[in-house]
């Protein structure tokens, strides 16, 4: 698989067709509710965007992820993509993802080629997240924001694509058993919305093989 194949498969996906004229209401949507049929979807949603950074390493593609610091009020210590809510000053969701990536980890947008988007992802906490996929060309330097980011690391794309690594687990939350995806990698525990978006990425790219 090369970068052209990745870009083509993303453009052939539902989101690629949406970019060519599909209405927002027709876009494919995923969310925490997919594995939890009894979970009500939030009625009011805040728009947000994340960057799914696929790094073109000589030894093979990887996906760059961050681990949030333990003191944050939301999702402390969890593994995530760089990103955040859409601000009034952003030109759009793609711009928001690139801005947040620059602010959180110092990855400059001139090293990123945006090649498409994944399905919308609705979280139980009320965010409608647009995952923007970009291919990152080394060399690049990172300057993580020490307030938000405890660590930055990369996972081989081959690991993410393999469905054998997409596990389902559950835990009790407010008295309700909640299911979610988990991708355990080395000593990392990638779960929740991030894992759900990686499963979506895997489904898109497996068709390209």
**Residue 87 pLDDT exceeds 70:** yes
pLDDT digits (tens, 9 = 90+) for 6-18: 998 888 875 555 5
* Residue ranges covered by each domain of the chain: 3-206
pTM metric for this prediction: 0.89
Average pLDDT over residues 14-41: 64
Question: Could you tell me how far CA 33 lies from the centroid of its own chain?
Answer: 17
CA of residue 80 relative to chain centroid, distance: 7
Tokens of 151: 């660590």
pLDDT at 206: 86
Segment of 12-26, 70-84, 116-130, 172-186 carrying the highest mean pLDDT? 116-130
- Integer CA distances (angstroms), 7 to 11, 48, 68, in order: 6, 22, 29
Taking only Cα atoms into account, the Rg of the chain, rounded to an integer number of angstroms, comes to 16
Beta carbons of 129 and 51 less than 8 angstroms apart = no
Segment 182-187 mean pLDDT: 93
Q: CA geometry: angle at 70 spanning 162 and 183, to 5°?
A: 10
Q: What is the pLDDT of residue 70?
A: 64
- CATH C-level class of 3-206: alpha beta
* Per-residue confidence band for 174, with pLDDT thresholds at 50, 70 and 90: low
Closest CA to 198 of 151, 147, 162: 162
């Amino acid at each position: 698989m090369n970068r052209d194949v990745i870009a083509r498969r993303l453009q052939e996906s539902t989101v690629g067709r949406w970019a060519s004229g599909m209405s927002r209401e027709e876009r494919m949507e995923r969310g925490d509710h997919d594995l939890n049929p009894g979970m009500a979807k939030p009625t009011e949603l805040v728009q947000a965007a994340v960057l799914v950074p696929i790094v073109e390493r000589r030894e093979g593609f990887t996906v760059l992820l961050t681990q949030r610091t333990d003191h944050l009020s939301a999702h402390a210590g969890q593994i995530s993509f760089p990103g955040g809510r859409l601000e009034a000053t952003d030109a759009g969701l793609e711009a928001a993802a690139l801005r947040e990536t620059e602010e959180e980890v110092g990855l400059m947008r001139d090293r990123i080629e945006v090649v498409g988007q994944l399905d919308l992802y609705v979280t139980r906490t009320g965010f409608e997240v647009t995952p923007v996929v970009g291919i990152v060309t080394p060399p690049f330097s990172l300057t993580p924001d020490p307030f938000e980011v405890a660590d930055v690391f990369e996972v081989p794309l081959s690991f993410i694509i393999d469905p054998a690594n997409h596990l389902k687990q559950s835990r009790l939350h407010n008295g309700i058993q909640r299911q979610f995806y988990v991708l355990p990698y080395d000593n990392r525990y990638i779960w929740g919305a991030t894992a759900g978006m990686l499963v979506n990425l895997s489904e898109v790219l497996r068709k390209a093989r």
